[in-house]
Amino acid sequence: MANQDLNKSEMVALICEHEEHIDWLYEGVRELRETLDFAIEMGKGLQERVNELENSPVVVEKAGRKDEVLAILKEGKHVSVPTLAKRIGISDRNISSQMSYLRKDGWLIATDSMGFKFLENPNRVVSR
């Protein structure tokens, strides 16, 4: 029958005979279209997010001055404020400020008889 020409009534009869299959196929195509539309929208959202990430600046966290002062003091040597300042590249006054912050955080920073700074207990913070 596939190779023969169908008249209008034969086509109607054929459609009626296979209406259930046609409805099933139509529903399948509709569901596929919805899935495809959803995937396209998701792809657009993902592409927008990729563009945002590609255009956003990369932030590399650098140790803060306080952390740098602490790292040097944790080396265990007695060190002068001018030496700390020179190693970190900040002023003596800023070193004193950073040590104040460290003391507030619970670090015991002591001064020896020659004015050199050191941690009394470099492995532990005193809770306050």
Question: Does 3 score more than 60 pLDDT?
Answer: no
pLDDT digits (tens, 9 = 90+) for 20-66: 888 888 888 999 999 999 989 888 888 888 777 777 765 555 679 99
**DSSP character string of 39-89:** HHHHHHHHHHHHHHHHHSPP------HHHHHHHHHTT---B-HHHHHHHHT
Question: Does 128 score more than 80 pLDDT?
Answer: no
Three-class SS state of 37? helix
pLDDT digits (tens, 9 = 90+) for 63-122: 799 999 999 999 989 999 999 999 999 999 999 999 999 999 999 999 999 999 999 886
The residue written with tokens 């590249």 in the block is 89
Looking at the chain, how many residues does it have? 128
The whole model's pTM is what? 0.50
Question: Does 2 score more than 70 pLDDT?
Answer: no
Three-class SS state of 92? helix
